[in-house]
Amino acid sequence: MTHKVRLREMETYERKKTPWLLYLMILVALVLFATVLRIAQIGAQIETSMITATVDIKPDTISLGMKGRWITAYIELPESYDVNDINTVLLGFIPSELYPRHVGDYDDDGIPDLMVKFDANATINYIWTKIYHMNPPEGRFDDVELTVSGELDAGMSFEGNDMVRVIILED
Ligand SMILES: [Ca+2]
Ligand SMILES: [Ca+2]
């Protein structure tokens, strides 16, 4: 008899315990759901604030043994943005030189472009690291995609890519 009573007590206890566990699970699920939503929201914000730029890097062929001082990038932005508002510019992680830098239309397509210059040695080192990380080069040539990114005065970010042909010199 006492055994049965104890059993019943245990059953009641279990029944009392279960809702709490259920509430806890619902709470955890809600928190997880909210977190996922927040991440998705942040992701969407990043996506919408990123402006796609048209980038042309010159020269189109870069020799890893080149003696030039600069690598040039011409940046065009979509119609609603002004290249004069471009603040910082990076090629990979290399910041552009402060001078020379000017706005023109070098390719005569009617869309203003900002010309910026990057230190050639720093760029070549960067390209070399990039090539080496992708796949150790076998031939004398490799086509590498370089990314130019930056920010406008308003804080929005832009990014654009250009392919360059890299001449890898053998020792
Ligand atoms: Ca180019
Ligand atoms: Ca142009």
pLDDT for the residue numbered 168: 80
Task: Please give the CATH number for the structural domain made up of 50-167.
Answer: 2.60.40
C-alpha span between 7 and 11 (Å, rounded): 6
pLDDT digits (tens, 9 = 90+) for 87-136: 999 999 999 999 999 999 999 999 999 999 999 999 999 988 887 776 66
Residue 148 CA: which ligand is closest? 1
Residues near ligand 2 ion, CB 5 Å cutoff: 105, 107, 109, 111, 113
pLDDT digits (tens, 9 = 90+) for 139-158: 778 889 999 999 999 889 99
Q: Is a pLDDT exceeding 60 seen at residue 1?
A: no
Please report which helix (H) or strand (E) contains residue 79, including its range.
Answer: none
C-alpha span between 135 and 129 (Å, rounded): 10
pLDDT digits (tens, 9 = 90+) for 129-139: 887 776 666 77
CA 110 to ligand 2 centroid distance, Å? 6
Residue 75 CA: which ligand is closest? 2
Tokens of 46: 């990043």
Domain boundaries, the chain: 2-48, 50-167
